[in-house]
A and B are shown apart, each in its own frame.
Chain A
C-alpha cells in the first residue's frame, strides 16, 4: 500500500513563551514493512535536517525556539509504501535489547486485574497463541471510547473502566504480556483506515511483543488484529510517555493550547511498488 500522511501539531501560548525546546520523533524509519518515499518535518516552516537514531532505533531531532514565541506549528508529511509482513518488525542491531521491555513503568504497573487478564490469555500452544488470545480479550473487554481516560490513565485504571482509547488498550496489552514474561512495547504511528474519511484520523498507537525467532510482532487491540499494511510506525518505547513523538519544555509561564490535525490517504500504486508487492 502507498500511504500519504500529513500530521500537523500546533502549540499556542497565551503569552509569548520563553526557552521552548522540543524533541521530535516524527520520522518513520525504513524497515522490512515500510519504506519512505518522501518525508519532511518542518517547525514554523523551517525544515528539520539533523536526525539521529535513538536507543529504540527511532529517528529523533531537536528544535529550539530562536527566542520568545507565540505559537509552534510542527508539520510532518510524506509518502510511505508498506507491505504486509503479518505484523512482524525485524529488529536491528543497535536498538535496545528485547528483555528491556519487561521493565514495568508507572503507566503499565501490573495489578491483580491485569495479572488475571494475562492468565486468561495464557495458551498451551505457546506465547504467540497467548498474545493473540490477549489481543482478542482486550479488544472484546475494553471498549473504544474517547473522553473517559486521559494521557495519565494507567493500564490498571483503564482495565477497571473497561473503556479507553488506543493508548489504554495498548497499555493493557503491554502490562498483561509482561506479566506473562513476554517483552512488550508501545508503538506510535499512523493508520490508514479505509472506513474513515481521509481527514478524520488521529495519531494511532498499538503494541508490539517480542517472540524469539520471529522478532517484534504488532498487536492492534483497537482493531482486534495484527497490523498489516495500513500501519506506519514512527516511534516506540516502554509506554506512551516514553514513546511520545513530541516532548517539549519551556520556561514556566504561559498557558499552552495543543491541537492536532492528521490526514491520511491511500495513494495509487506506482509501477515500482506494484512490482515489490508482487514479490
Chain B
C-alpha cells in the first residue's frame, strides 16, 4: 500500500501534519487557490522559471509550485542526515581512490571496466589531489520513501546538481505569505545555505591563494535552463557571476576581466559540464570553455567545483556499488538503502529484466533527467516492445529497478486535497567538513498516479519542512 506522508496506518493525521490540516481547514480550498495565485504572481515577478526541454511551448514557463509543505519529523531527519553525510563522504572517498591507486578496483569490489572505460572518468585527473581532497562539493542525493521507516536512494548527483534555488525560494514565499504557520510550528531554517555554500567553497581555495579567496559562479550563459539559479546563488553569496569569455588563464592562474582590470579568481563554482569547460583539455570543439583552465587547476592556481571527472561517482553503473563503497572506505553499513537494481549487462539480470519489463522501470545508464526511461506498468505493449529492442541492441547501457510505490504527500487539487507522489533531493556541502542544511527540494508528480517527478517532465515543487 502506498505510504501517505500525512496519514498514519489507521488513516489518522500524523502529528507532524496537524498544523497543515488545521491550516487547510481554516483557509478552505478556495482560499488556498487564491493564495496559490498570489504565490505564482510573486514567482513570476521575481522571474524564477525553469526551461523545459523537449516539451515545446514556453521555454520560460513557471515551474508549478504546491502550497502544501512536505514535512519530516526531527527523528526522521536525524536518520536521513546521517545517511546523506555518510554517502557524500563515501562518494568523495571513491573519487579520491579511483583517481589514484584504485584500491577498490584492486580489491575486486568495483569492476575496472565500468570505471576506466566510462566517459565520465577523466584520465586527465589521474594522480592529482584537489584541495581538501574534495571532488564533489555539492552532492545532491535523490531519495524516495516507500514506508514510515523506508527511505531509499534513487540516484546520486555529484557534478552540479540543480534545484537548490527552489528550496530557498519556496521557503521564502511560504514565510512571506504565511508567517503564522512558522509561528505555530518550529521549522528548521534553510536560509543559511548560501553562506554555508560560500564557506565550503572558500575552504577549498588552492595552494596559490594566500589571502581571502575570491569565489565566482561560472555559468554557460543566459540560454542555459538553470541560468536563473546560477545568478540567484551568485547574488545570495555576494560573488560575481561570470561567463567563460570573462575569464582567462595566465601564468597558471585564472583572472576575470573587470572594469578595473584583471582580478585573480581562486575558486570557481562551475555550472558547465566537464566536456565543455576547457577546449585544451577536453572537447576541442567547445566554444564555451576557458582555454587552459584545467591546466591552472592541476597547477594549483585555481579550484574547480566540482572537480572534472566527479561524474564517475554518480554514474548509474557505479550506483549499485555505493553501499559497498561505504563499507570499504568508512567501515560502516549504509544507513540509506539503494533501490534494488538489475544491470542488463549481466546475463542473469538481463533475463530477469526482459521477462518482467511490464513491472519494471528501465533507465539508460548514462541518461539523466527522466528522459529515455521506460515505466513498465504505465506503458503500452508497443512501447514496451520498442524499448525491449533498444535493450537487446545494447544491454550494458541499461539498468532496471522495481516500480517503487513512492510515498504521496497532500497536494492542492482543483476541488480539494489530493495525494500525489513525491521524492526528495537534499544538497550536501563538502568543504573542510560536511555540511547539510535541514531541508532540500521536494518534487511532486502533479498528474494523478504519475511517478515521474522531474521538473523537465511536468513535475512541481514543494517547500520541505524539517521540524525541530
Contacts and interface: CB of A to CB of B under 8 A. Distances in A.
Given A23-B295, A102-B116, A96 B127 contact: yes
A62 B113 CA distance: 32
A97 B125 CA distance: 11
B117 A50 contact: no
A97 B252 contact: no
B116 A97 contact: yes
A100 interface: yes
A64 interface: yes
A19 B126 CA distance: 29
B105 interface: yes
- Chain B residues touching A, majority SS: loop
Nearest to A238: B123
Contacts of B124: 54-55
A205 B280 CA distance: 21
A249 B294 CA distance: 14
Interface string A95-125: 1110110111000000000000000000000
B113 A56 contact: no
Contacts of B248: 64
Most chain A beta-carbon neighbours within 10 Å: one of B105, B121, B124, B127: B127
B126 A56 contact: yes
A94 B127 contact: yes
A141 interface: no
A111 to B, nearest CB: 17
B145 to A, nearest CB: 39
A52 interface: yes
Contacts of A62: 249, 252, 280, 292, 295-296
A53 B125 CA distance: 11
A42 to B, nearest CB: 16
Interface string B245-256: 000111110000
A21 interface: yes
B126 A100 contact: yes
B279 to A, nearest CB: 5
A68 interface: no
A250 to B, nearest CB: 9
Interface string B288-325: 00011001101100000000000000000000000000
Interface of B: 101-102, 105, 112-113, 116-117, 121-128, 248-252, 279-281, 284, 291-292, 295-296, 298-299
17 contacts: A21-B249, A21-B291, A23-B292, A23-B295, A50-B252, A50-B299, A52-B298, A54-B124, A55-B126, A55-B128, A62-B249, A93-B127, A94-B127, A97-B102, A103-B117, A238-B123, A247-B284
Interface of A: 19, 21-23, 50, 52-57, 60, 62, 64, 93-97, 99-100, 102-104, 238, 247-249
Given A52-B252, A52-B299, A62-B280, 13 more contacts: A21-B280, A23-B281, A53-B127, A54-B298, A55-B125, A55-B126, A62-B252, A64-B249, A64-B292, A94-B126, A94-B127, A95-B127, A97-B105
